[in-house]
Structure 1
């Protein structure tokens, strides 16, 4: 249940921007407001926003250590050194490894890739892998989506004659590993204009720099932006600046001539006969790639993404699809178990501002998903832990506006390892440290979280009448894609709508409402769907007015027609 709708009118500065933009978009006033909200102040900026161009990408050499990284890679290739491309087992890591390995393989043959297993090796680089790499003659490891905290491991690798190029996007500590180069837009002192790249995005920028330094055409690398788009969507990094440009062109690639492995996943997901959207990547493509690392080995995901034969790729994709089905079953069971524990001990959890829950038997690969579910259900920063290789290991997720990384960092002396972002952190600790961690984590959250952050709220982007939902408005709204953090899908509010008389309950348990609505500004009837809002049906059916907040969705049908549907997020009954 959403507790509050928030509509914040434009500031004075943004009102000036809206006025200037209105000269171009006078026929669609809400468009000017939406652009101004996103910090766009001129028509020229709006046109750039509506038409993302690869020419507007930043120079990769603005990134700290990029020149060092390119020089070390060129040196390795000149000396015919053996190179290992190493990455994390999640979507971001596997797409990053696939991109860098596949691109370099076009120009260099003495190269291999490696993905650690979640259960035997865990996150990051291990001493065992370094020993095996040294024994096989590896002299350079390009590590992607991890490595920024592997200080001791990289020191050890140097004694064996192995250099590292770190391509990471996680928050670094004060002390950095002694790598040959560290490419990370979050490094202290970095002025890179887009600091919130995905791990695969950092890998792409490295390859972009390599290509430029060697006079290679950009086309071949740009054709791999579908991998970057998948990583950006799955890792939920801000959909702004360079990320939005790469995602825009990556989605175009997904819809025209995708990577062979992604094409196999697209077929498995039955997405081949319609336009693939960012939602398809988040809810269908990404989870399947992730399931490989969660349930078996992330290496299989890389095998899929570097495959050149569609038959081979489709065989791997079918295996990964089965992993995803198994993952869903585990996810459901463990979430139910966690929720049962919380319901049985409401006296212990209800007055706390956070949740820390532990079960030594839970599946390590599902913990992050369960943490997300618990956070969504109770709307509190949550940590879910299980036992793995003798340590309590798990994931944390946060609510909107609260920096859970800082909360975890405040307990770092109790931890064996941790790393992540503002809203999601992985961590491990000795089992005996769980009680003290729980106490200190709760204290930090209680001392720093705002009361408003503990209640679900819905921000409204614009007030809209049905008369303003015109074909021209829909056409311009489409250009706000791709959506994500920092460029969320606009949420609108229309006041005093009424049932046309044909709304009905749908769903297995009649829990949803299929709406047909009108307002007093237009004679047009708008279709809508309100999931899990069956409790409002009697009121709706009484033909009394009510307010709705919603997103506007386009449904494309097999006969090529497109219909508009209002996805109603919440309903507010009018007082009069």
Structure 2
């Protein structure tokens, strides 16, 4: 698939050079820092040396005082407190974080995760009824609740108060809860707006510790759960999230024993080295998510809260089996979806993909939508039948607002929600053909030519000889990488293979590259075997790549991970 190489805008040369002299590092690297808004020595110091002392005062968040007061009241009076969270990674880590902390201060506590299929996303009437039946008078909702004004009012009628900890964009109708903690509220003065749901819960715990003279170290013990939420929920790893992720990874990789549930997950995922954001996203997140997709998300919470290795592995095994089932359904449905596209002239050449089959598993349709985009790069919606309705998940391509496109079809829908790149929707089955036609019209009229081609953002053009161990060590210090601070991508032009190019596995290239007749470095390009013939003939080429370490037979060397190749 063709890709666009988009070079990030260069910063003013004087600013880049001044920072290079102050830090005593390559202007290439300070140029990348400046692109990311780090242009002074002090900004660089905070970036390279994150400090927990730079975390914001939690009481800057709107309603934080009311939240702590109500929680204190509940604990002092022995009220029953219910910790309520969503069924994804952010929700389940949030519940484990809050419940695991509060159970040190009360035995009148339980947690609740809604059933993905019977109750749907967010606060449910069934959950409130369950809380009322079991005598709970306070619900702390995490990663949900900001759009549940009607449910909060329903709970109030049953004598149940709400503290909402959420990070999603609020509607105009803010729930009338005792406290609504959400930095995205327009009147919330909290300086950092991009916390995960678990991050908002963490700020409540921080504030609780401050109010009750509890050492902040008690809150910091929870950063292992918080970094899992930050990585899995794909929030920007900037500002406060960067500090929290940095220390969360230290917690996971430190000398102290890992939380039993995460340790079990690491072993089952086959992760042998240090944890980073990528290993959480691809090793932890799918397994934690699978519990809610294929069965009971409470199993994820039970695993995260397990206090013994035996209990942790028992729950992790259940979750791992759910993940295997998820992968099987994901693979089979993706294969079927791609066959549907390839067999239909309209679908094959359309500007969008909308597929419907009533028997597809609802728990994996979002994943299937993403898989289809890997083959057919365009806004995609996968629909299945649920409770007599067509229910679906949408995914988008870079720069295209799929939520807005769905909104243009709202007269055909019963409900929808989400954001620019991912959304969910429900509509009558009989409206599906009209929706497919309308959505295609909307996309065709609004998508640009550039948005239909996947892009690679390039940070800098360099010569291969610049890639030294010292250069790489500075790049390493820019971790943790993720949205808002991605692993730097470099371009090198007119390079050659030294004669060692070969295909490994089914479709991967292994090379040893040289430029200007000197210096050589190993490289690997996954899925790039189509370039084998021209490269083996000695034709020069340009490539874009990231730099990584490769360990082989105990020897560690630098290698390039190629993202794309352009033959000369």
Report the TM-score range of the alignment, normalised by the length of the smaller protein.
over 0.9
Q: Distance in 2 between matches of 1:171 and 1:429?
A: 23
Alignment of 1:107 onto 2:102:
no
Equivalent residues of 1:91, 1:290 under 8 A apart: yes
Task: Give the distance between the partners of 1:558 and 1:98, measured in 2 at CA.
Answer: 39
Instruction: Show the counterpart of 1:317.
Output: 316
Secondary structure of the equivalent of 1:100?
helix
Please name the residue that 2:512 is paired with: 516
Shift of residue 427, structure 1, vs aligned partner: 2.6
1:444-455 to structure 2, matched below 5 A, reads 444-455=442-453
Number of residues paired by the alignment? 566
Task: State whether residues 171 and 420 of structure 1, in contact with CA within 8 Å, keep that contact through their aligned partners in structure 2.
Answer: no
Question: Is the 8 Å Cα contact of residues 163 and 179 (structure 1) preserved in structure 2?
Answer: yes
Using the alignment, how far apart are the partners of 1:197 and 1:442 within structure 2?
34
User: 1:355 Cα deviation (Å)?
Assistant: 2.2
Contact 1:25 1:31 in 2 (8 A): no
Q: Do the aligned partners of 1:386 and 1:394 also contact (CA within 8 Å) in 2?
A: yes
- Residues 1:338 and 2:332 aligned together: no
When the two structures are superposed, what TM-score results if normalisation uses the length of structure 1? 0.94
CA offsets 1:69-104 (integer angstroms, 9 cap, x no match): 112211211221111001111111100000000011
Per-residue deviation at 1:56? Answer: 1.2
- Which stretch of structure 1 is more off in the superposition, 404-413 or 561-570? 404-413
CA offsets 1:152-193 (integer angstroms, 9 cap, x no match):
222111110011111111222111222221111211233322
Shift of residue 346 of structure 1?
Answer: 2.8
Q: How does 1:115-514 map to 2 (within 5 A)?
A: 115-256=113-254, 257-271=257-271, 273-348=272-347, 350-352=349-351, 354-412=352-410, 414-507=412-505, 509=506, 511-514=507-510
Partner of residue 538, structure 1: 533
Shift of 1:314: 0.8
1:548 has 2:546 as partner: no
Instruction: State the 1:450 CA deviation.
Output: 3.0
Query: Shift of residue 449 of structure 1?
Result: 3.2
What is the distance in 2 between the residues matched to 1:562 and 1:105? 45
SS where residue 138 of structure 1 aligns?
A: coil
2:557 corresponds to which of 563, 569, 574: 563
Structure 1 residue 27, shift from structure 2 partner: 4.5
Q: CA deviation at 1:294?
A: 0.8
> Residues of 2 paired with 1:276 and 1:38: CA distance?
24
Aligned to 2:72: 74
Structure 1, residues 105-157: CA drift from partner, whole Å, max 9, x if none? 11121100011111222212222221121011011111111122222222111
Q: Partners in 2 of 1:326 and 1:431 — Cα distance?
A: 27
Deviations 1:249-298 (A, max 9, x none): 11111112332211111121232x42112111011111111111111110
TM-aligned CA deviation for residue 541 of structure 1? 1.3
8 Å CA contact 2:3–2:454 kept in 1: the answer is yes
Q: Distance in 1 between matches of 2:353 and 2:187?
A: 35
The more displaced of 300-309 and 49-58 is 49-58
Checking the alignment, whether the CA contact within 8 Å between 1:410 and 1:444 is kept in structure 2 is yes
- Kept in 2: contact 1:85–1:101 (CA 8 A): yes
Q: Within 5 A, what are the aligned runs for 1:8-87? A: 8-12=8-12, 15-87=13-85
Whole-Å Cα distance in 1 between the matches of residues 514 and 424 of structure 2? 48
TM-superposed deviation, 1:244:
1.2
Residues 537 and 235 from structure 1, CA distance in 2 versus in 1: closer, same or farther, beyond 3 angstroms? same
Matched, 1:526 2:524: no
Q: Could you tell me how far apart the structure 2 residues matched to 1:422 and 1:195 are?
A: 17
The alpha-carbon deviation at position 233 of structure 1 amounts to: 1.0
Deviation at 1:214, TM superposition (A): 1.4
SS of the equivalent of 2:180 reads strand
The more displaced of 412-421 and 106-115 is: 412-421
Instruction: Tell me by how many angstroms 1:38 deviates.
Output: 0.4
Please, which moves more after superposition, 77-86 or 1-10?
1-10
Tell me how large the CA RMSD over aligned residues is.
1.8
Residues 415 and 427, structure 1, Cα contact 8 Å, conserved in 2: yes
Partner of 1:5: 5
- For residues 369 and 448 of structure 1, do their structure 2 counterparts lie closer, same or farther at Cα, with a shift above 3 Å needed? same
Alpha-carbon distance between aligned partners in 2 of 1:59 and 1:419, rounded to the nearest angstrom: 32
Distance 2:436 2:63 in 1: 39
Q: Do the aligned partners of residues 220 and 555 (structure 1) sit closer, same or farther apart at CA in structure 2, a change above 3 Å counting?
A: farther
3-state SS, counterpart of residue 459 of structure 1: strand
